[in-house]
Amino acid sequence: MNALSEQILSELRHLLSEMSDGGSVGPSVYDTARALQFHGNVTGRQDAYAWLIAQQQADGGWGSADFPLFRHAPTWAALLALQRADPLSGAADAVQAATRFLELQPDPYAHAVPEDAPVGAELILPQLCGEAASLLGGVAFPRHPALLPLRQACLVKLGAVATLPSGHPLLHSWEAWGTSPTTACPGDDGSIGISPAATAAWRAHAVTQGSTPQVGRADAYLQAASRATRSGIEGVVPNVWPINVFEPCWSLYTLHLAGLFAHPALAEAVRVIVAQLDARLGVRGLGPALHFAADADDTAVALCVLRLAGRDPAVDALRHFEFGELFVTFPGERNASVSTNIHALHALRLLGKPAAGTSAYVKANRNPHGLWDNEKWHVSWLYPTAHAVAALAQGKPQWRDERALAALLQAQRDDGGWGAGRASTFEETAYALFALHVMDGSEEPTGRRRIAQAVARALEWMLARRAAHALPQTPLWIGKELYCPTRVVRVAELAGLWLALRWGRRVLAEGAGAAP
């Protein structure tokens, strides 16, 4: 066990030291399909098309059947890309199966827009639907009527603006509304809105209309984004890139949840990242990437990390996103994010600032079981639950929540793991352990024994499935589709396993119910 703990710390050190390359993100069906469609040269991207076809599920759609809300964008996009790749092996069959899939799918936007709709759905899905209708007229596809007024209102706003500033949030979905390359310009990283799909669309329009000075920078960006997937296939790209603020921020925040933030073995790697964040945090806050608009979520987590490292950052950067007693992720956000407010609450408490309204909002946004499951940036309820427990307990040593604890223990699967879909995942099991770690500190002996038993079962499940240096594959984070920020998730997996190992050693040494 000690040897395994050392291996975990060594891998964590390595992961943290790599976080200066823009970030690691798993491949995206949606963005790859859109980039292929805009690229235009089928024969020059045969490996990427083959990858796209290989991702199709048995039912004809793309994306996890566990989370149907997030399957429309990748399936529409793949269908449109493959529609023009008929000579390629398997393309025609894939198009036929995708068409059947979309015909049979219930429309989640028939009457209203779900709270956890994918990023840019109001712009992207009607656009894809319209493109498919012109190619496959007469097919009874879902039409997403509830999104149409939102798209129209957004287009009216965009019509009043000649050019959006680099890094504006709406640039992230430029492929769904942009037609003139003059409405956007590649940022310092070469991207349009840190989006491969948007950048590929902008590049195609720029080449067609003769606006080529920036095309070389867009090409370099798309190549770098493709490398970030570690797929080894040219043209296969991630859902979002770079993530050179989000990745280090969330990784260090996760270390705190596991009790690893101040571990001596990680001290130098943590110090380097903290110094970078400290230098980058300005009065406007931080976004997921250096050249993207600031948002309350990244700003709040950055404030948490800096305070945990002993710095004294000003809370003013977070105040820009205050709306009454809540915090909006971006100005003009359609609906509030629970996890953004959870992170804002955690930051405010760490900084010793009043947070009664935010605390009340977080407590109120729970399901009848006492858990948090109405999240717009992550598909699993375990993610906001782990973070909410940490935020609510911050500075309150006697904080207890028997209802949430009972629900969390009851949700453990027979195999010992946790998961919001049909199977347990390493990432979600780690989140469950982070929450139990906090809860254990103020439980009575009986409760601590229950927790220790659950942790022992989780540890057994994790040990049976661990693989050194294995990149996670399961996409659970909400973008335009579900995606996987691989290093962020790997840090969570390793931190969860390290916590369970340490817990097990203490239980053995001190008797059942001991805390880590």
Q: Where are the alpha helices (DSSP H) in 114-262?
A: 121-135, 148-159, 196-208, 215-228, 246-257
Of the candidates 480, 385, 380, the residue with the CA atom closest to the CA atom of residue 438: 385
pLDDT at 469: 81
- Three-state DSSP class for residue 327: strand
For residues 431 and 418, give the distance between their C-alpha atoms in angstroms, rounded to a whole number. Answer: 9
For residues 77 and 93, give the distance between their C-alpha atoms in angstroms, rounded to a whole number. Answer: 16
Beta strand 477-478 with 482-483 is antiparallel
For residues 245 and 280, give the distance between their C-alpha atoms in angstroms, rounded to a whole number. Answer: 9
Tell me the one-letter amino acid at 323: F
For residues 468 and 225, give the distance between their C-alpha atoms in angstroms, rounded to a whole number. Answer: 25
Per-residue pLDDT of the chain (516 residues), as tens digits, is 689 999 999 999 999 999 999 999 999 999 999 999 999 888 889 999 999 999 999 999 999 999 999 999 999 999 999 998 888 999 999 999 999 999 998 999 999 999 889 999 999 999 999 998 888 776 778 889 999 999 999 999 998 888 899 899 999 999 999 999 989 999 999 999 999 999 999 999 999 877 667 899 999 999 999 999 999 999 999 999 999 999 999 999 999 999 999 999 999 999 999 999 999 998 999 999 999 999 999 999 999 999 999 999 999 999 999 988 899 999 878 788 999 999 999 999 999 999 999 999 999 999 999 999 989 999 999 999 999 999 999 999 889 999 999 999 999 999 999 999 999 999 999 999 999 999 998 899 999 999 999 999 999 999 999 988 888 989 999 999 999 999 999 999 999 999 999 987 777 666 644 455
Q: Which two tokens stand for residue 395?
A: 């500075």
Cα distances (Å, whole numbers) of residue 446 to 330, 405, 449? 44, 12, 5
For residues 90 and 86, give the distance between their C-alpha atoms in angstroms, rounded to a whole number. Answer: 8
For residues 114 and 104, give the distance between their C-alpha atoms in angstroms, rounded to a whole number. Answer: 20
HSE-CB for 299 with a 13 A CA cutoff: 26
In our burial notation (b when 16+ CB lie closer than 10 A, e otherwise), range 292-320 reads bbbbbbbbbbbbbbbbbbeeebebebbeb
Spell out the domains of the chain, with CATH numbers in brackets: 1-18+243-511 (1.50.10.20), 29-136+145-150+166-229 (1.50.10.160)
DSSP 264: G
CB atoms under 10 Å from CB of 20, counted, come to 13
Opening angle at CA 497, ends 493 and 499, nearest 5? 115
For residues 476 and 22, give the distance between their C-alpha atoms in angstroms, rounded to a whole number. Answer: 20
CB atoms under 10 Å from CB of 258, counted, come to 24
For residues 183 and 479, give the distance between their C-alpha atoms in angstroms, rounded to a whole number. Answer: 23
pLDDT at 511: 61
pLDDT at 138: 66
CB atoms under 10 Å from CB of 380, counted, come to 23
For residues 80 and 75, give the distance between their C-alpha atoms in angstroms, rounded to a whole number. Answer: 9
Tell me the one-letter amino acid at 439: M
pLDDT at 210: 73
| Residue whose structure tokens are 């099991």 | 429
- Three-state DSSP class for residue 162: coil
Of the candidates 136, 118, 127, 514, the residue with the CA atom closest to the CA atom of residue 334: 118
Taking the model in full, what pTM does it have? Answer: 0.96
DSSP 470: P
Backbone angles phi, psi at 502, to 5 degrees: -65, -40
DSSP 166: T
For residues 353 and 345, give the distance between their C-alpha atoms in angstroms, rounded to a whole number. Answer: 9
